[in-house]
Amino acid sequence: MSTNTLTKRIEAARNSGRLALIPFLPAGYPNKSRFWDEIDQLDASGADVIEIGMPFSDPVADGPVVEHASLKCLDAGVNLKWILSELASRKGRYKAGLVLMGYLNPVLQYGLDDFARDAASAGVHGVILADVPFEEGDFIRAAFEPHGLALIPLVGLNTTPSRMALYGDNAQGFAYFVSVLGTTGVRSQFDTSGLPPQVREGLTHAKAAFPVPVALGFGLKHPDQLKELAGLVDAAVFGSALIRHIDEGGDSKGFMQVWK
């Protein structure tokens, strides 16, 4: 089943003795033509799963780096129709699993059933909707399921073990654990003093609750941080760090060489 592609990619990395790497880049960044070159580089450089951001005008979970990048993409005319059309033209090109990440409003504007059909047809394996809690996800899962599209659960420090269990019962692909109470790319204790105890405890609960792999994101800025995550999670997500690298004149190939 196609949703298992995400699980298989992450498990293959784990079986080889390493964390799976999940880079995130807003669709159309740093510009609409170069974006696809960056995705090619991420895939060729060993990304296990690639998250493509669906730019939105009110990105409540995004920090300043991702928000600025997403708004720049919106100004360039990036929308879901463009993203899915471009992905469809490249279907079968990538070894990595593909995930779209964003917010519910653009999906509803596109049409939920149409989005599910077109995303799956374009080779997408899963979707993260940052503003959809468990209780509001049933109709989305019902639309996704016939197309083999996974709704990736998003949990964090304020998610209780019992609530994680609810997400775990329906989990597909992998679970995304948010390491901070805040937006992406913000500074946290993890930057300077190692993995905070509350994050370690939360990851322990997540690993117990989810039958699928667990990925950690938000706040990862340096490859050395990956060493502390060994045994606690199965994958690491990085977005703001990649965007900063590109903004400073680098490319995805060079970024991946440092993080691998």
Residue-wise pLDDT for 50-100, tens only, equals 999 999 887 666 668 888 898 899 899 999 999 999 999 999 999 999 999
Mean pLDDT for 224-245 is 91
| Catalytic site positions | 51, 62
25: CB partners within 8 A, 6+ apart: 35, 38, 39, 42, 50, 51, 52, 53, 239, 242, 243, 252
Structure token pair of residue 42: 């991420």
Enumerate domains of the chain plus CATH numbers. 4-259 (3.20.20.70)
Contact 225, 5 (CB under 8 A): no
Burial of 15 (0-12, 13-18, 19+ CB in 10 A): exposed
pTM over 0.85: yes
Residues 200-237 as b or e (16 or more Cβ within 10 Å = b): eebbebbbebbebbbbbbbbbeeeebbeebeebbbbbb
Mean pLDDT in the chain? 91
DSSP 184-241: TT---THHHH-S-HHHHHHHHHHHHH-SS-EEEESS--STTHHHHHBTTBSEEEESHH
pLDDT tier, 186 (very low <50, low <70, confident <90, very high otherwise): very low
Backbone dihedral angles phi then psi of residue 25, each to the nearest 5 degrees = -145, 130
Mean pLDDT for 188-211 is 82
Residue 224 has pLDDT above 90, yes or no: no
| Lowest mean pLDDT, pick from 39-48, 95-104, 225-234 | 225-234
- Extended beta strands in the chain, E state: 20-26, 49-53, 97-102, 126-129, 150-151, 154-156, 175-178, 214-217, 235-238
Q: What percent of the chain has pLDDT over 90?
A: 78
What is the model's pLDDT at position 227? Answer: 86
